[in-house]
Amino acid sequence: MRHKDAEQPLKAWFKEAEKACWQSPDILKRRYPSASILNHNRVVFNTKGNKYRLSTMINFDYGQVFIRFVGTHAEYDTIDATTI
């Protein structure tokens, strides 16, 4: 992993996401108030004390989470999170 310090926070998020039942953006926001809900079912989470961003696409109907991007804020600024 290029950013070794992000590994443990991402593993913790992944473990929680595996068990989660996010049926809507509102339910997700109750657990992660700082998450950004974007167009096209994209959700961006801040991890490691807001040092990294985790961009996902979530199918709320089927409970599927697709990780689209992980990187620093500076790296995140180079992508379009609504289309990646």
CA end-to-end span of the chain, whole Å? Answer: 20
Question: Would the pLDDT of 60 be above 90?
Answer: yes
Task: For residue 68, report the phi and psi dihedrals to the nearest 5 degrees.
Answer: -105, -30
Note the pLDDT tens digit of each residue in 27-58.
999 999 999 999 999 999 998 888 899 999 99
Structure tokens at 38: 């974007």
Cα 74–Cα 5–Cα 31 angle in degrees, nearest 5:
80
Give the pLDDT score at 1.
47
Residues in contact with 41: Cβ distance below 8 Å, sequence separation at least 6, in sequence order: 57, 58, 59, 60
pTM of the model: 0.87
3-class DSSP state of 58: strand
